[in-house]
Amino acid sequence: MEPGTNPMEPDRVRAPNIRDVARLAGVSYQTVSRVLNDSPSIKDSTKQRVLDVIGEIGYRPNQAARALVTSKSRTIGVLSQQTAHYGPTTSITAIEGAAREAGYRLSITNVSSGDYVAIKAGIDYLLSQSIEALVVIAPQVRVFEILSELSISVPFVTLQATDLGVHSMSVDQVAGARLATRHLIDLGHTEIMHISGPQDWIEAEARMQGFLEEINNADLRTRAPILGDWSAHFGYYAGLELLRFRDFTAVFASNDQMALGFMHACRELGLSIPGDISIVGFDDIPEAAHFFPPLTTVRQNFPEIGRRAISLLLSELRGDSPLEQGQITPELVVRESTSAP
Amino acid sequence: MEPGTNPMEPDRVRAPNIRDVARLAGVSYQTVSRVLNDSPSIKDSTKQRVLDVIGEIGYRPNQAARALVTSKSRTIGVLSQQTAHYGPTTSITAIEGAAREAGYRLSITNVSSGDYVAIKAGIDYLLSQSIEALVVIAPQVRVFEILSELSISVPFVTLQATDLGVHSMSVDQVAGARLATRHLIDLGHTEIMHISGPQDWIEAEARMQGFLEEINNADLRTRAPILGDWSAHFGYYAGLELLRFRDFTAVFASNDQMALGFMHACRELGLSIPGDISIVGFDDIPEAAHFFPPLTTVRQNFPEIGRRAISLLLSELRGDSPLEQGQITPELVVRESTSAP
DNA sequence: CAACGGAATGTGAACGGTCACATCTAGCGT
DNA sequence: ACGCTAGATGTGACCGTTCACATTCCGTTG
């Protein structure tokens, strides 16, 4: 029995390739390739024959081979956070959808800590997959330092407002914070606290800035904002601490979770909301409408950001059009956690 | 001037490849390849020289080429849901981390609707990227029909308990639901409602089953559970509706969000929790501890599931070891939303 | 000292597509 | 009837890496 050609051999089934299709359809492999990329000059009858064979034998184009020869990976990298926040998650979902629709896939890397090495490794990892574009959702200041220092060769966009050139698509955080603060001021509050996010988060910084701007505009004073970690737990403990001195009548929390925790602390101390303390959150997570009381907050359209980020990248990839990057305006949602003091 | 070799040509910078490295290091390309895959028989001095060159010119191995020749994509596919629920998101984060650590990347596809075509397309899409393994987080019944009918050729694991052979790694939903229900019964409740998740979700079904088992064990009766959509909104409106007839004293909601909405409805109708109505949720999202009142719920260890799913797949990919798949036991977290009737 | 053998390194082919170019056909005007 | 052109299809090379096998080097041993 000839060793190499043993017909009994189980013979690792190889996935059908373009030449198998060609042979069965009685055409050349190049014709098959043309059908796959629907090139214009191909006779309908031929095309149909090829498609039939493809369906019949279950042929799938090999992405790796295609990527190799075109040196296009059809992959968009996403640099994100380890923590599963509502906003990023929602945006990523939208990004994935938009990307897939355009024939791109995503490669997501979560960078856990904000330290230089981890972030650098994350970006490196993405680049080694020869991504064609990069979306950065890790909203930490340090990421942007690294990004600019690395002089990335692919188009990229951040979902945060930065001064890093044009590559940004974001909700205007400053405007949102001003909306929230203005709302409290308009109600008549003069002593307003701010519970901020972590110092190294761009969003946290921007919201704090918006808050301070509006406070200054109204000639009010405020205690130094305290820096939280976005969690409801933090909001709770911060509340217990802050409320030992009741020298304020309103709180602007930098996200809904911290607002929730803070309200928890209020209840525990027997304070009524908004009777004793008004509170505004940020994000408008779906649960916020069902907090006790339903939370006044600032709504960000996360899916929209994701979609626009991708369309911005895609247009840059196609080379066409001056990219219309920009900011999305957030919206104040007034519910029952705020009232006149 | 020779056309092809014009030294003035800007000449699209090509990324350095293995042969460039070889040339500069004065070795053959195969030696470079050996260094990259740290093959044992390579002299230390040579290895160092190659590594130096790699660092110097910033060479990155081309994943596509590698994938092509080895027919290993080093990619694990993830089939997930469009909606950004806390549980799946948290698991995915853990999965990503574990996969990356093992040198695998993720390809995530969200399938929006539960209809056959969409799910099939999602799986097809993943397979066309020649994934080496598949994690299914889309917990819909229909997904599993498709999965079994397709006879996937790669190892796969679902994050839901199924009767689909061994490929599953999940929190024991039935046990969790029994824990919750038992708790209410132990407190003395005899009229217990269940707000379930959507009918075609495996988890929803399992939790309902656990609930009914425990109800039967205790010789109690219950009204037919109502089928929700996991959202706080649904919980709210369901609450308004259900509470028109107050023929129950406790509610087991199939997730924390619906519990939240339900509590909102209670407050609005002037009912106290747990005074008038006790309520138990499911998941223990981080916010649950700060609801009003803090929610008694069932904790699932989502990251652990993700990690274990990957380690199960990896061991299957390596071919070693009988895979220790299985279930993780959930845990009841008693807070202040439950008391004796 | 020749023969040996293992460690270290090199060579050709292959993976599965696409690109650039070559060839073949059919329709058309003159 | 002829050449021309555009449409349809085929051929060879190449993308960057690994695999299988071949070759060289060098220290050991009988």
Q: Judge whether A84 is closer than 8 Å to chain B, CB to CB.
A: yes
Which residues of chain B have a CB within 8 Å of the CB of A235? 290
For chain A, first and last CA: distance in Å?
Answer: 95
Q: Tokens in use for B219?
A: 């010789």
Which of A62, A96, A231 is facing B108, going by the closest CB pair? A96
Joined together, the tokens standing for residue A32 give 């098959």
Per the listing, tokens 């202040």 go with B336
b/e string for B213-240 if b means 16 or more Cβ within 10 A?
ebbeebeeebeebebbebbbbbbbbbbb
Q: Model confidence over B13-67: pLDDT tens digits?
A: 678 999 999 999 999 999 999 999 988 888 899 999 999 999 999 898 988 999 9
B267 interfaces chain A, CB cutoff of 8 Å? yes
d(Cα B313, Cα B76) in Å, to the nearest integer?
Answer: 9
Question: What CA–CA distance (Å, rounded) separates A174 from A163?
Answer: 14
Q: Does A104 touch chain B (CB under 8 A)?
A: no
Using the Cβ of A107 and the Cβ atoms of chain B, whether some distance falls under 8 Å is answered with: yes
* Contact pairs from chain A to chain B, CB under 8 Å: 129
What is the per-residue burial (b if ≥16 Cβ within 10 Å, else e) of B17-31?
ebebbbebbebeeeb
Record: contact B292-A290, CB cut-off 8 A? no
| Range among A182-186, B17-21, B205-209 with highest mean pLDDT value | A182-186
Tens digit of pLDDT for each residue in B246-274?
Answer: 999 999 999 999 999 999 999 999 999 99
End-to-end, the C-alpha distance of chain B in Å comes to 96
Given a cut of 90, whether residue A120 has pLDDT beyond it is: no
- Give the model's confidence band at A138: pLDDT under 50 very low, under 70 low, under 90 confident, else very high: confident
Residue by residue, DSSP assigns B206-272 as HHHHHHHHHHHHTT---PPPEE--S-HHHHHHHHHHHTTS---SEEEESSHHHHHHHHHHHHHTT--
What the block records as the tokens of A102 is 């355009």
- Picking from B65, B74, B53, B61, the residue whose alpha carbon sits closest to that of residue B15 is B61
Confidence of residue A5 (pLDDT cuts 50, 70, 90): very low
| Cα dist from A253 to A6, A84, A225, A250, B222, whole Å | 73, 19, 10, 10, 42
The three-class DSSP label of residue B55 is: helix
Q: Give the mean pLDDT of B237-252.
A: 95
Q: Cβ contacts (< 8 Å) between B286 and chain A: which residues?
A: 231-233, 257
d(CA A142, CA A111): 12
* Length of chain A (residues): 341
Restricting to A residues 220-239, those with a Cβ less than 8 Å away from any Cβ of B are 231-233, 235-236
pLDDT tens profile A7-20: 333 344 678 999 99
More confident residue, A124 or B239: B239
Sort out which chain A residues have CB atoms less than 8 A from B281's CB and list them: none
What pLDDT is attached to residue A3? 34
pLDDT given at position B165: 56
SS3 B156: strand
Q: Which chain D nucleotides are covered by protein, judged by CB under 7 A?
A: 7-12, 14-20
Give the pLDDT score at A324: 60
Is the pLDDT at A191 greater than 90? The verdict is yes
- Interface residue of B66, B290, B300 to substitute, partner A, most A CBs within 10 Å: B290
**Cα torsion at B76, B79, B84, B89 (round to 10°)?**
-30
Domains of chain A as residue ranges with CATH: 18-61 (1.10.260.40), 71-170+302-326 (3.40.50.2300), 173-300 (3.40.50.2300)
Is the CB of residue A298 less than 8 Å from the CB of residue A284?
yes
Residue A57, CB, less than 7 Å from strand C? no
A173-187 and A202-217 helices, crossing angle to 10°: 40
CB contact under 8 A, A63 and B89: no
Element (H, E) at B105: strand B105-111
Residues 6+ apart with CB under 8 A from B107: A105, A106, A107, B75, B76, B77, B78, B126, B129, B131
Alpha-carbon gap, residue B292 to B260, rounded angstroms: 8
- Strand pairing report for A226-227 and B156-158: unpaired
B113 Cβ under 8 Å from any chain A Cβ: no
Q: HEC states along chain A?
A: CCCCCCCCCCCCCCCCCHHHHHHHHCCCHHHHHHHHCCCCCCCHHHHHHHHHHHHHHCCCCCHHHHHHHHCCCCEEEEEEECCCCHHHHHHHHHHHHHHHHCCCEEEEEEECCCCHHHHHHHHHHHHCCCCCEEEECCCEHHHHHHHHHHCCCCCEEECCCCCCCCCEEEECHHHHHHHHHHHHHHHCCCCEEEEECCCCEHHHHHHHHHHHHHHHHCCCCCCCCEECCCCHHHHHHHHHHHCCCCCCCEEEECCHHHHHHHHHHHHHCCCCCCCCCEEECCECCHHHHHCCCCCEEEECCHHHHHHHHHHHHHHHHHCCCCCCCEEECCEEECCCCCCCC
Q: Give residue B8's pLDDT.
A: 35
- The C-alpha atoms of residue B151 and residue B168 are separated, in whole angstroms, by 15
Residue A220 vs residues A182, A188, A194: alpha-carbon distances, Å: 12, 11, 13
How far, CA to CA in Å, does B305 sit from each of B42, B123, B154?
A: 40, 21, 20
| Residue A162 CA to its chain's centroid (Å) | 15
Strand-pair category, B326-328 with B278-280: unpaired
Give me the residues paired with residue B248 across strands: none
Residue B129, chain A, CB below 8 Å: the answer is yes
Hey, is the C-beta of B248 within 8 angstroms of any chain A C-beta?
Answer: no
Residues A332, A178: Cα–Cα separation, whole Å: 10
Give yes or no for a contact between A146 and A119, defined as CB atoms under 8 angstroms apart.
Answer: yes
Measured CA to CA, the distance from residue A240 to residue A269 in angstroms comes to 8
Q: How far is it, in rounded angstroms, from Cα B115 to Cα B298?
A: 30
Q: How far apart are CA A299 and CA B124, in angstroms?
A: 36
Query: For residue A148, is pLDDT > 80?
Result: no
Whether residue B286 has a cis bond before it, omega within 30° of 0: no
Instruction: Calculate what percentage of chain A has a pLDDT beyond 90.
Output: 54
Q: Is the peptide bond before A274 cis (omega within 30 degrees of 0)?
A: yes
What pLDDT does B253 receive?
Answer: 98
Alpha-carbon B309 to chain mean position: 9
Residue B6, pLDDT score: 37
The nucleotide whose C1' lies nearest the CA of A60 is C16
Q: Which two tokens stand for residue B39?
A: 């093959």
Q: Is the shortest CB-to-strand distance from B127 to strand C under 7 Å?
A: no
Q: Which of A97, A129, A292 sits opposite B110 (nearest CB)?
A: A97
A90 touching B (Cβ < 8 Å):
yes
The count of residues in chain B is 341
Q: Which residue bears the tokens 């409408």? A: A289
Residue range B264-287: average pLDDT? 96
Instruction: Select the residue of A60, A96, A294 nearest B110 (Cβ to Cβ).
Output: A96
Per residue in A307-337, pLDDT tens? 999 988 888 887 766 556 678 899 999 999 9
Taking the model in full, what pTM does it have?
A: 0.87
* Minimum-distance nucleotide, CA of B70 to C1': D18
The verdict on a CB contact (< 8 Å) between B292 and A263 is yes
Nucleic strand C under 7 Å from the C-beta of A36: yes
Of A238-242, B70-74, B192-196, least confident by mean pLDDT is B70-74
Q: How far is CA B289 from the centre of its chain?
A: 23
For residue B10, say if its preceding peptide bond is cis, omega within 30 degrees of 0: no
> What burial class does residue B276 get, using C-beta atoms within 10 Å of its C-beta: 0-12 exposed, 13-18 middle, 19+ buried?
middle
- Nearest nucleotide to A21, CA against C1' atoms: C16
Which residues sit close to strand D, CB under 7 Å? A 27-31, 34, 39-43, 46, 65, 68-69, 71; B 14-15, 17-19, 29-30, 33, 36-37, 60-62, 65-66, 68-70
Is a pLDDT exceeding 90 seen at residue A128?
Answer: no
Token pair 């500069």 in the structure block, residue: B24
For residue B130, what is the DSSP state? Answer: T
B72-99 pLDDT per residue, tens = 888 899 988 766 788 888 899 899 989 9
